[in-house]
Chains A and B, each alone.
Chain A
Amino acid sequence: MFLSGLLGGVLTGLGMGGGTVTIPLLVLGFQVSQFSAILINLLAFLPAGLSALIIHTKNGLVQFGYVLIILVPALVTAGIVSWFSLSLDVSVLKRLFGVFLVIVAMVSLGLKSVKKN
């Protein structure tokens, strides 16, 4: 499980999406429940995210005006939806997650091919 985390982390650091890698790895590879995998991904992001945030802030890259505009509404919906998703049937959540993965991958493929032209 440590190794799968390591693999997920490497792919994450390589810029290939974070939770989109680690959550499937944990769920499919180790039969971790979807909810546990989500929480593991969230907790794993915090130390890395925080340290990156400090560095970026020092470099003046963070535009705090934009942070508030997006963060405040995001916190509201995230609170409601995450509370709701815990009571959701796991198989439904998994299907939705699958759809989400496919969409993300397809958009990502599409963008790359557009850039080439």
Chain B
Amino acid sequence: MTDMIFDNKSRKYEKSDEKPSKARMIALGCVGLVVGAIAGLFGAGGGVLAVPALKWAGLEERQAHATSIAIIVPLCAMIAFVYIKNGNFDFSVFPYPICGITLGAILGGFLLKKMNNIVLHFVFNCLLIAVGLKFIIGR
């Protein structure tokens, strides 16, 4: 979900006062329902759907990414709250991966400016399919 975070360029955008049409608003509301369901179920993946939906609604790529973060942050906070409230967790292991992820995300954000490799993208997605299959099979 953090994939669109650290590529900030200080370009300013005009605020669009244009309101989406009624049909579009209803469609986006439905997208919201699905985004919430996916994020709630998997604890991940809200942005995967929100970004293309926002682009479809007429936002530019960078606007869509920024706007999706504004949606995902409160969503994550709420799901985390539900989990902590209702689940049973051993929090002692949490700090290590959390620190790692945060540092790594910053590092990756810097690397992003230097590389944009189609081969890497292909390899990564193939790996993701393999991992997905492993989860489906179970061992």
Contacts and interface: CB of A to CB of B under 8 A. Distances in A.
A73 B54 CA distance: 15
B77 interface: yes
Mostly, the B contact residues are helix
Given A39-B80, A48-B5, A70 B50 contact: yes
A79 B78 contact: yes
B104 A46 contact: no
A19 B71 contact: no
Interface residues of B, number: 104
B40 to A, nearest CB: 3
Mostly, the A contact residues are helix
A54 to B, nearest CB: 10
Contact of A14 (B1, B112, B134): B112
Contacts of B53: 70
Interface residues of A, number: 94
Contact of A9 (B48, B66, B78, B108): B108
Contacts of B15: 60
Contact of A81 (B11, B40, B133, B135): B40
Contacts of B36: 73-79, 81
Contacts of A35: 83, 87, 89
Nearest to A71: B71
Given A1-B93, A5-B97, A15-B112, 4 more contacts: A24-B131, A52-B5, A70-B28, A98-B136
Interface of A: 1-20, 22-24, 26-28, 32, 35-53, 55-57, 59-67, 69-86, 91, 93-102, 104-106, 108-109, 112, 116
